[in-house]
């Protein structure tokens, strides 16, 4: 049994734990479950990235104990501020989980007004006595993704031809997107300087939304067919179906010596590059995804709350615990069974693992900005 499962089993056995809103919760009584609110900005759950990753953690916890979740999607930051104030003032919730760095200012204000309410902030940092923050150094994984893109972008499986990479982001002002793109560019620079490749990088473009698949498809199609990009980096959240549509179009018009390859971000989207995403079989055009293990972070924070060992702090998760099978939160690059090894052979991932270790050891420093 895993350490995580052992902890949760103990929670079920315990009759009483202290509640964040006063009194005790009978953990063994399904009629008195812990109440947890989860607040996320649009597009909310179904964004294919961090919100969905957190939802996985909530489902995992709910499988171990009875938890009463209230999931709320705000239309924008102002609406999120109103929602957070209302649910905090209600005193109904043992814990309020807030997802997304863009809601940092709103949570900072509301948390200061409700010091007896406990919060978890996923994807950003709040310094407060009643907030656990979980931040993910996704720019470090993006560096690895940039280096991998440079190696995999050569025009055909024989590593000959053009090497052009495009970047499509969701919202330019989003700090997470900005840091992802900065790390990715640094990884390309590193590959150009040290790995004997010569990559041409197109100017990045932005969808202007977290959920505009039509615009994402238009930009991606232009990069694939108009600019001859051989690989795209696409931190576009719920606009990912548009990227998939562009991949399908490119695959139907290109010759057999070239593939429309993509690297995804902010969640595991490898399956989105499969010929059939329903059966999830075959080989994917998405060769890797950058994944912040926010599911594990929220699981641990909620578990700590229910054990009455909530401790306000900032937990910084990096590449140190980046193995896919670990139960320690971190940031990972996926290495799925969907990979076509003609296009991304194992030796590429061995090089990326070596670079990952250099980042962990401090040999390589990755900045959140570029240049």
Does the pLDDT value for residue 10 go beyond 50? Answer: no
Q: What is the mean pLDDT of the chain?
A: 87
Q: In 10 A of CB 344, how many CB atoms?
A: 20
pLDDT value of residue 29: 45
* CATH number of residue 286's parent domain: 3.40.50.2300
SS3 category, 221:
helix
**What is the separation of C-alpha 259 from the centre of its chain, rounded to a whole number of angstroms?**
25
Same domain membership, residue 164 and residue 59:
no
Does the pLDDT value for residue 3 go beyond 70? Answer: no
Does the pLDDT value for residue 325 go beyond 60? Answer: no
Same domain membership, residue 286 and residue 297:
no
Same domain membership, residue 151 and residue 90:
no
- Band (pLDDT 50/70/90 cuts) for residue 321 is low
Q: What tens digit of pLDDT does each residue of 157-180 get?
A: 777 777 899 999 999 999 999 999
Number of domains in the chain: 2
Most confident option among 39-53, 180-194, 255-269, 306-320: 180-194
Same domain membership, residue 298 and residue 254:
no
Same domain membership, residue 152 and residue 190:
yes
For the residues 63-81, what does the mean pLDDT come to? 91
Quick check: is 368 in a domain?
A: no
Quick check: is 38 in a domain?
A: yes
If residue 332 lies in a helix (H) or strand (E), which one and from where to where?
strand 331-333
pLDDT value of residue 257: 66
Strands 119-122 and 200-201: unpaired
230 prior amide bond cis, ω within 30: no
- Band (pLDDT 50/70/90 cuts) for residue 124 is very high
Same domain membership, residue 153 and residue 10:
no
For the residues 339-359, what does the mean pLDDT come to? 93
Same domain membership, residue 110 and residue 239:
no
Tokens of 326: 């670990």
- Band (pLDDT 50/70/90 cuts) for residue 13 is very low
pLDDT value of residue 322: 52
Phi, psi dihedral angles at 62 (to 5 degrees): -65, -25
- Band (pLDDT 50/70/90 cuts) for residue 8 is very low
pLDDT value of residue 46: 85
Tokens of 290: 């950058």
Quick check: is 171 in a domain?
A: yes
Same domain membership, residue 166 and residue 284:
yes
Same domain membership, residue 303 and residue 243:
no
Distances (CA, A) of 85 to 106, 107, 112, 332: 9, 9, 11, 34
Same domain membership, residue 151 and residue 286:
yes
Distances (CA, A) of 266 to 32, 42, 51, 99: 35, 15, 9, 13
CA 12/CA 66 separation, integer angstroms: 9
Quick check: is 347 in a domain?
A: yes
pLDDT value of residue 326: 59
If residue 232 lies in a helix (H) or strand (E), which one and from where to where?
strand 231-234
Domain with 184, as residue range(s), is 139-291+341-360
Worst-scoring range by mean pLDDT, 20-29, 89-98, 290-299, 339-348? 20-29
Of the two residues 47 and 85, the one the predictor is more confident about is 85
- Band (pLDDT 50/70/90 cuts) for residue 350 is very high
Does the pLDDT value for residue 236 go beyond 50? Answer: yes
Quick check: is 29 in a domain?
A: yes
68 prior amide bond cis, ω within 30: no
Does the pLDDT value for residue 7 go beyond 70? Answer: no
- Band (pLDDT 50/70/90 cuts) for residue 324 is low
Q: Is the dihedral of CA 150, 166, 171, 269 positive or negative?
A: negative
**What residue has token string 């890797």?**
288
Same domain membership, residue 186 and residue 125:
no
**What residue has token string 């609110």?**
37
Same domain membership, residue 162 and residue 113:
no
Nearest to 294 by CA among 21, 35, 38, 10: 38
pLDDT value of residue 32: 67
Quick check: is 269 in a domain?
A: yes
Quick check: is 365 in a domain?
A: no
- Band (pLDDT 50/70/90 cuts) for residue 17 is very low
For the residues 123-151, what does the mean pLDDT come to? 96
Quick check: is 210 in a domain?
A: yes
pLDDT value of residue 254: 77
Does the pLDDT value for residue 26 go beyond 50? Answer: no
């Amino acid at each position: 049994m895993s350490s995580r499962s052992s902890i949760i089993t103990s929670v079920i056995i315990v009759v009483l734990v202290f509640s964040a809103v006063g009194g005790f919760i009978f953990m063994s009584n399904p009629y008195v479950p812990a109440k947890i609110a989860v607040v996320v900005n649009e597009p909310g759950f179904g964004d294919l990235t961090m919100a969905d990753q957190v939802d996985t953690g909530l489902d995992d916890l709910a499988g171990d104990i009875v938890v009463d979740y209230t999931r709320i999607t705000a239309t924008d930051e102002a609406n999120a501020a109103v929602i957070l104030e209302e649910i905090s003032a209600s005193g109904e919730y043992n814990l309020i989980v807030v997802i997304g760095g863009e809601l940092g200012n709103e949570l900072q204000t509301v948390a200061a007004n409700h010091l007896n309410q406990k919060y978890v902030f996923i994807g950003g940092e709040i310094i407060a006595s009643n907030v656990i923050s979980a931040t993910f150094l996704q720019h470090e994984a993006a560096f690895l993704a940039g280096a991998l893109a440079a190696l995999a972008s050569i025009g055909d499986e024989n590593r000959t031809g053009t090497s052009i990479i495009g970047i499509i982001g969701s919202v330019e002002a989003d700090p997470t997107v900005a840091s992802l793109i900065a790390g990715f560019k640094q990884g390309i620079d590193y590959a150009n300087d040290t790995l004997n490749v010569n990559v041409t990088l197109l100017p990045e473009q932005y969808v202007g939304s977290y959920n505009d698949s039509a615009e994402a498809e238009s930009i991606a199609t232009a990069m694939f067919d108009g600019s001859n990009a051989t690989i795209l980096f696409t931190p576009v959240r719920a606009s990912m179906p548009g990227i998939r549509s562009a991949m399908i179009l490119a695959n139907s018009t290109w010759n057999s010596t070239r593939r429309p390859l993509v690297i995804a971000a902010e969640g595991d989207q490898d399956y989105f590059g499969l010929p059939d995403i329903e059966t999830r079989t075959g080989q994917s055009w998405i060769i890797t995804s950058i994944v912040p293990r926010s599911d594990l972070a929220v699981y641990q924070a909620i578990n700590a709350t229910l054990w009455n060992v909530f401790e306000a702090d900032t937990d910084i998760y990096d590449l140190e615990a980046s193995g896919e099978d670990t139960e320690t939160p971190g940031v990972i690059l996926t290495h799925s069974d969907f990979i076509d090894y003609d296009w991304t052979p194992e030796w590429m991932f061995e090089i990326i693992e070596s670079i990952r270790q250099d980042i962990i050891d401090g040999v390589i420093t990755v900045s959140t900005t570029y240049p």
